[in-house]
Amino acid sequence: MLNIKKQITRLYVSSALWNLSLTGAWVAILAARGYSLLEIGFAETVFHITSLLFEIPSGILADLFGRKNMLIVSTVMKIIGNIIMITSCNLFMVCAALSFYAMSYNFSSGSGDALAYDSLKMVGKEAYYERYASNELIIHRFCGGVSTLCAGFALFIGHKAAYGADVLMCAVQIGTLLPLREVYAGDGNNVSEGSKANGKNIAGNLIGSIGKEFVKCFAESLSFIKKERKTMLLMLSNSLVGAVDILLLFFLQAKLPKAGVPDGALGFALFFMEMGGVLGARMILKCKKLRYKNVFAATALFVLLGVLLEHSGVYMVMMLGGFLAAFSDDALQVRTNTILQDMFPSKQRATLISIESFTFSMIMIVLSPLAGVVFSWW
């Protein structure tokens, strides 16, 4: 019998460990190392190109070979990225490290949510998922905020020591992931545990079996999206708002010091902005009757307002802009995730979540270099 409390708690702890880092303000760290905003924008583009290439395959692999296994793979990828960043001495190596971070993100993005939803569905508690999604985003924002509080300390000890500490954190996370139980919950009472890629499926011609399952899973996911076109509209809406928020917060890391924020206070400024996401993720739970189109309109407006406030040049006002953007992003994210999870079939759940991340990466690939130019000029 699945102990749902332990299962969800382990996912929460894993998420916290994944987001806790001395290098949360990585843009500020790169800027302190002498990289320009244009170079950082280019590196961010490399991140999202890599994410674009691996996002959907990682989701399919999670559906085929287990969400827990892919969460572990994600952590290993992050360790490799940290090691490359420690030894980096040029933009090429920085981009290589960010590529591994992208793959780490890919292998975790759909796996955790899919495992959580199916675990809850297995015990008949899928209605709890909206609160889980809210808590997950709160953990993401809060731990990310705590990480940015370490910005000054990371700059003080240097990037090598900071990324070295992240390697140790990843090792602890793997220990947290190992006890997780693999769960698949289909329609109705069709539930099972363990990886779907059983011995029969991969016996004999291993590559052929994997290839067929890979193509089948992807085709079924595309068929679902074609049938349920609303899902793609939801994905695009959520990704657009999220992309603007993420880029704004990234470049505020480099622009706030220029606006007068002391190095020692930068972490507190970034933490304040991240807390906007915590508030947004919690507030949306109290607005269950608010229609999605109204939620989208309000959050899109607040994100754009955040961008305009960044232009003020007054760091307190700029911080308020970042706070509003984070608030809007996470509020919309919780509502969108809940609607999509209720629509997704279990067999393709991680794949479809990855397709959502794929749309986000496409938008980021376009916006990242443009944002580098705009925020450098503006």
Q: Residue 18: which of 85, 92, 86, 81 has the closest Cα?
A: 81
Residue 247 CB neighbours (<10 A): 23
Domain boundaries, the chain: 4-197+224-368
Beta strands in the chain (DSSP E): 183-185, 191-193
Residue with tokens 């997950």: 136
CB 213 within 8 A of CB 197: yes
pTM: 0.74
Pairing of strands 191-193, 183-185: antiparallel
pLDDT per residue as tens, the chain (378 positions):
788 999 999 999 999 999 888 887 788 888 889 988 788 888 888 887 898 788 788 888 888 888 899 999 999 999 999 999 999 999 999 999 999 999 998 898 778 888 999 999 888 898 899 899 899 989 988 888 788 778 778 888 888 999 999 999 999 999 999 999 988 655 444 555 555 544 444 444 555 666 776 677 677 777 887 888 888 899 999 999 999 998 898 888 778 888 888 877 877 888 899 899 999 999 999 998 899 999 999 999 999 999 899 888 899 999 999 999 999 999 999 999 999 988 888 777 877 877 787 888 788 878 877 776 776 666
Helix or strand (DSSP H, E) at 104? helix 91-109
Fold of 4-197+224-368: Growth Hormone; Chain: A; (1.20.1250)
Cα–Cα–Cα angle for 199, 54, 339, rounded to 5 degrees:
85
Q: Residue 7: which of 138, 117, 109, 106 has the closest Cα?
A: 117
250: buried, middle or exposed (CB in 10 Å: 19+, 13-18, 0-12)? buried
Helix ranges, 228-314 (H)? 230-258, 263-283, 292-310
